[in-house]
Amino acid sequence: MIKLILERIKYAKLEAPVYRMKNITDTKEKKFVSAFLSTRTKDEVTLEVILRIYSNYKTIWGLNKDTIQNLIKPVAFYRVKANNLYRITQKYEDIPEDLESLLTMPGVGLKVAKVFLAELGKSYIGVDTHVHRIANRIGIVQTSNPEQTDRILNEIVEDKLKPEFNTHLVALGQTICKARKVNCSICPIRDICNYNLKTYEQYKHGKAGARGPLHPQHPL
């Protein structure tokens, strides 16, 4: 079922910022910096910042802290992030490619590390509040917090599917399955999504407040 969900989202060719980000982060450093800056920041903003950095510099290694701060200024907590990025460039000659080493870096948490490693094609899933919300809404998991979701997804998702899991679920969340506005009528997985199936049943039985009709059967 998880493989089918990911394939449906992928072939829907959604115009999602996360896909545009993937297209421009074509080096290990870009993948790391984009993951690092993405916390509490919309992908549209992170995308703009990545383009600004690498249209002016080949690398952030060698830049002073003020320059880094000015380059990333639109992102959330840019002063803290600039300071941590500068410390990373001073301490590390290269970006580690294992989870344990990444987690020793200033400002790098589990989600950032796993998103970065997944972008390198390694078998990790970066779980943030968005992936947690969408995975529960679809019915892949039934959990109460991102930490539980992270643990269960790591157990039930095949290793070969893990690198693309975050990207496709985030893409769905950015375009169709938004937190406050869900557009089930154009969703590529609505016939296998718990939220839509439940909503359709509520509508059929005349439940107050139910949205519909959103019949689950549709051409894909």
Alpha-carbon Rg for the chain in angstroms = 19
* Length of the chain (residues): 220
What is the tens place of the pLDDT at every residue in 4-59?
999 999 999 999 999 999 999 999 999 999 999 999 999 999 999 999 999 999 99
Residue 210 and residue 202 in contact, taking contact as beta carbons nearer than 8 Å = yes
Contacts of 184 (CB under 8 A, 6+ apart): 176, 190, 193, 195, 196, 199, 211, 214
Residue 105, helix vs strand vs coil? coil
* Least confident window among 59-68, 87-96, 149-158, 180-189: 180-189
Residue 174 confidence (pLDDT): 94
Active site positions, annotated: 111
What is the tens place of the pLDDT at every residue in 82-129?
999 999 999 999 999 999 999 999 999 999 999 999 999 999 999 988
User: φ, ψ for residue 182 (rounded to 5)?
Assistant: -105, 130
Q: Please state the pTM of the whole predicted model.
A: 0.88
Provide the residue ranges of all domains of the chain, joining segments of one domain with +.
2-175, 184-220
What is the tens place of the pLDDT at every residue in 181-201?
899 999 999 999 998 887 645
User: Is residue 61 scored above 60 in pLDDT?
Assistant: yes
User: Is residue 171 scored above 80 in pLDDT?
Assistant: yes
Mean pLDDT of 151-169: 97
The domain defined by 2-175 folds into: Endonuclease III; domain 1 (1.10.340)
